[in-house]
Structure formats: C-alpha cells, structure tokens
Amino acid sequence: MFHIGLHKDLIKYDIEAPAKINFPSRDMHIYVYNEGTVLRTIHLTTDPSLDTLLVEPTESELN
C-alpha cells in the first residue's frame, strides 16, 4: 500500500515512482524519478517472520 500512496502523491508533480519486486523475498525497490533522472531509491524489505504469524480464530469461525 505504501507504493500506491506514494505514486498517487507524486503523480500530481509529474514525478514517477516505478517499482521492482525481487522474488522470492518480495523486497521492493522504488525508483523516484523525474524526466529520466532518478531522484531517490527506496528499498522496502520484507520481514519473513511476519508471514508466520498465527491469528487466533474467532468464536464464530469455530462454530
């Protein structure tokens, strides 16, 4: 969701923010650029421990 929000905010200023996702890690590199010049690179790193979080079922799901 971060990338979508960033894109929506920057497009107003004619600044683009394409991203490259690396698999299987799902890490994302976002390139903020204008007129062919990269202004910033943002690296979002996936925390693999979050994939293993268990959510307790609600009572309605148990019945």
Half-sphere exposure of 27 (CA within 13 A, CB side): 9
Q: Are 19 and 29 in contact (CB under 8 A)?
A: yes
Task: Provide the residue range defining the domain that includes 38.
Answer: 2-62
Categorize the per-residue pLDDT at 8 as very low, low, confident or very high, splitting at 50, 70 and 90. very high
Which helix (H) or strand (E) element contains residue 9? helix 2-11
Q: Could you tell me the pTM of the whole model?
A: 0.66
Number of domains in the chain: 1
What pLDDT is stored for residue 31 in this prediction?
96
